[in-house]
Amino acid sequence: MATIPLHSLPAHNLQGRDFLDFADFTAQELQQLLTLSLELKLKHKAGVPYRPMAGKTLGLIFEKASTRTRVSFEVAMNQLGGQAMFLSGRDTQIGRGEPIPDTARVLSRYLDGIMIRTFGHEIVTEFAAYSSVPVINGLTDLHHPCQVLADVLTLQEKKGKVQGLTVTYVGDGNNMANSWLIAAPKFGINLRIATPPGYECDPAVVAQAQQLASFHGTELLLTHDPILAVQDTDMIYTDVWASMGQEEEQKQREQDFAAYQVNQALAAHAKPDYLFMHCLPAHRGEEVSADVIDGPNSVVFDEAENRLHVQKAIIVATMV
């Protein structure tokens, strides 16, 4: 089947590049990915086939469990004409201690691209250093760029633009907050992050974000005051209080984060037409109240759907 040209993908595309961290891409390249995501979504909704990945295989390495990441990547490759191969960490030699460089060298001789969802960010960076095919970060403890790109796409669809808008993240200074720190200034978004004392974002990422905000002319506010952070904001974002690997901290975190629940009282300080987003899975009654996540301002399921479309764009841009 002949492929259909994409107007948003220039000749100097991102072919062969890894997708590990927003810091590796210019603002123009990220906008290109956003535009391509929307174009691929429109083609899919219109029933227009686009299958440039025919004959190609994407390996999916999971050392952390997933619903959205696994399903969206597998469906993305299927809809693009290729196939995806699920590789559980405990079912491969990685889980038995094979050196990452050896695994990377071998798998990149079989596969056309590799997605990794794991713990330490150094795992994906080392894997990419030894892989001869593109490596995509499906999530690490430090960054989650696939999710934030889907968030920005959703924001653009719902608001008609992203530049000049204000996004507020309330909760743990985790990988979601870190990726927002790097992405926001490159998209022209003003960012506010409210975390409890002791749960701030990675200092090195913060320093990088401050430089980017200054360069791109955007605002960056880091605070422990959630009310200040959501004042007149366009979007409120949150995540679970205890991520995978932090389950033993759950009780302590429930106490430390009690004042950081996104509920109607907090959301009342945002703009009336604010959007609510969450990367999911969500714990109703903990980081967000049910009436917020299930309310009229919530776009969490549109946001989740957009994981499929942005991952298609990443695959097409790097692997075609």
Residues 164/46, Cβ–Cβ less than 8 Å: no
Distance from C-alpha of 91 to C-alpha of 85, rounded to nearest angstrom = 13
Distance from C-alpha of 73 to C-alpha of 76, rounded to nearest angstrom = 5
- Residue 244 marked as a ligand binder: yes
Q: What's the Cα-to-Cα distance from 170 to each of 39, 52, 149, 243, 246, rounded to whole Å?
A: 31, 39, 18, 15, 18
- Residue 233 marked as a ligand binder: no
- Residue 280 marked as a ligand binder: yes
- Residue 273 marked as a ligand binder: no
- Residue 307 marked as a ligand binder: yes
- Residue 190 marked as a ligand binder: no
Task: For 205-239, give one letter per residue: b (16+ CB within 10 A) or e.
Answer: bbebbeebbeeeebebbbebebeebbeebbbbbbb
- Residue 192 marked as a ligand binder: no
- Residue 146 marked as a ligand binder: yes
Q: Which of 4, 25, 6, 5 is nearest to 14 (CA)?
A: 25
Asked if residue 99 has a cis previous peptide bond (ω within 30° of 0), the answer is: no
What are the start-end ranges of the H helices in the chain?
27-45, 68-79, 100-110, 121-130, 145-159, 175-186, 203-216, 226-230, 250-256, 264-267, 290-293, 300-319
- Residue 51 marked as a ligand binder: no
Q: Exposed, middle or buried, 94 (CB in 10 Å: 0-12/13-18/19+)?
A: buried
- Residue 175 marked as a ligand binder: yes
Active site residues: 117, 144, 147, 239, 279, 307
- Residue 137 marked as a ligand binder: no
Distance from C-alpha of 63 to C-alpha of 80, rounded to nearest angstrom = 25
- Residue 26 marked as a ligand binder: no
Distance from C-alpha of 242 to C-alpha of 232, rounded to nearest angstrom = 28
Distance from C-alpha of 212 to C-alpha of 258, rounded to nearest angstrom = 32
- Residue 239 marked as a ligand binder: yes
For the chain, how far is it from start to end, CA to CA, in angstroms? 15
Q: Detail the residues annotated as belonging to a binding site.
A: 66-69, 93, 117, 144-147, 175, 239, 243-244, 279-280, 307
Q: Detail the residues annotated as belonging to a binding site for carbamoyl phosphate.
A: 66-69, 93, 117, 144-147, 279-280, 307
Q: Detail the residues annotated as belonging to a binding site for L-ornithine.
A: 175, 239, 243-244
